[in-house]
Amino acid sequence: MTIVLDNTTQAPTEPAIEKTALERFVVPEKPSLVGLSRAALAQALGAIGVEPSQQKMRVQQLWHWLYVRGATEFEQMTSVSKPLRATLAANFTLARPEIVAEQVSVDGTRKWLLRLPGEQAGDLPHEVECVYIPEVDRGTLCVSSQVGCTLNCSFCHTGTQRLVRNLTAGEIVGQIMIARDRLGEWLDTERAKGPGLPTEGERLITNVVMMGMGEPLYNFEAVRDALLVVSDGDGLGISKRRITLSTSGVVPMIARAGAEIGTMLAVSLHAVRNELRDQLVPLNRKYPIEQLLDACRNYPGLSNARRITFEYVMLKGVNDSAADAKALVRLLAGIPAKINLIPFNPWPGTKYECSDWQQIEKFSEIIFNAGYASPVRTPRGRDILAACGQLKSATEKLSARERLALRAMAMTD
């Protein structure tokens, strides 16, 4: 017996390489202006009768209110004429995703469960998760690109979920706007207070990583359009050097990502041999390590000042030997790179364990001595399932014992 998926024949025991989306986004009768490019905003204004000679000025006004002041209603836009505000409100919204739940970790990490509309009116809503990680030198927002994930990486909680649909550019940008709402980071708003948050002066969201739910390069156009809005200097203003797009290795899209998006790149590698990576990251059966590394060597703009980050999750007894570390160094020779060692973050039902810290330190020392210095960061948000590889849109009903175990683990790391 065989199973046919995406025109490839798989043995029944092998995990599928990719999933097919179950639903799609349908534009509502009154669409949101959040996430539109300047050109698309001008087109939207033209559709409601704004003269071409006025469109550039009006776009700049809307851009300022959306991405500098964080307006949620057209009535807040006092520099826009009342008649135009009324026309805008009759045809559009400024809707962001709806926050269903907010959790705050013992270490200050914040996770939001966000609700999005289903395909048709009356359908069950879709849900994604977004995480804010405050640290001494930065504040990182981890953003999702899909409801669920196209892929089936065996160590990843999100990979156990169905792929429901891609997010729109507006829904991706909306996650950043929601975070700024909750943190009070808009112009003339009161800043949030809490564990890990600076009270004044410093910017709260300094970095954005496309490392949440989903494979960004399987939702390329929406991710591209969203990140160009996010990096616009007259709005949200997060430099492309502070935006990182993470991929599991969609080789044909890597060069295009460098040329059309131009952000930093991270690659989920996790193994140095094809036979092991085939199990951990089944996409490797389609784009093996050799092809992936060739694409990385040719990433547009790659240099010592703009290195690729290779992510490597530390799995006990699986990929954490000294021989693996030495092979990793050999594998990346000649590529301007950093290696990010990620202690495995457990989730209910996983078969994997995190490597012992002593083993992680030995592995890290080999990497450091080879010039790929990158500190092993203490896992953040484990007690609320907000750490790398733990996100899942369906709310998990953990037992009291499981919750206590997660919290105890976070307290001891």
Q: Domain residues for 70? A: 38-91
**Amino acid sitting at position 69:** R
What is the DSSP secondary structure assignment for residue 65, as one 8-state letter? H
One domain for residues 62 and 151 = no
* pLDDT confidence of residue 198: 67
Domain-embedded: residue 23? no
* pLDDT confidence of residue 393: 57
One domain for residues 76 and 193 = no
Select which of 130, 149, 354, 388 is catalytic.
388
Domain-embedded: residue 11? no
Of 57, 91, 125, the last residue of a domain is: 91
* pLDDT confidence of residue 26: 87
* pLDDT confidence of residue 391: 57
Distance, in Å, from the CA atom of 292 to the CA atom of 337, rounded to the nearest integer, reads: 14
Select which of 18, 127, 129, 185 is catalytic.
129
One domain for residues 78 and 111 = no
One domain for residues 338 and 258 = yes
Told to judge if 215 belongs to the known catalytic residues of this protein, a careful annotator would answer no
Task: Output the six-digit token pair for 92.
Answer: 């559009």
Told to judge if 388 belongs to the known catalytic residues of this protein, a careful annotator would answer yes
Burial class (CB in 10 A: 0-12, 13-18, 19+), 7: exposed
Task: Output the six-digit token pair for 302.
Answer: 């790659």
* pLDDT confidence of residue 280: 96
Distance, in Å, from the CA atom of 360 to the CA atom of 312, rounded to the nearest integer, reads: 11
Q: What is the pTM of this model?
A: 0.88
Q: What is the mean pLDDT of each run of 10 residues along the chain (413 residues)?
A: 38 74 90 97 97 97 97 97 97 95 89 87 83 90 96 91 94 97 90 74 89 96 98 96 97 98 97 98 97 97 94 96 97 94 87 93 92 68 59 50 48 46
* pLDDT confidence of residue 333: 94
One domain for residues 119 and 64 = no
Do 139 and 150 form a contact (C-beta atoms < 8 A)? no
* pLDDT confidence of residue 12: 46
Do 285 and 248 form a contact (C-beta atoms < 8 A)? no
Domain-embedded: residue 31? no
Do 345 and 382 form a contact (C-beta atoms < 8 A)? yes
- The H-or-E segment that residue 181 falls in is helix 169-183
One domain for residues 66 and 153 = no
Domain-embedded: residue 26? no
Q: For residue 56, give the CATH number of its domain.
A: 1.10.150
Do 17 and 5 form a contact (C-beta atoms < 8 A)? yes
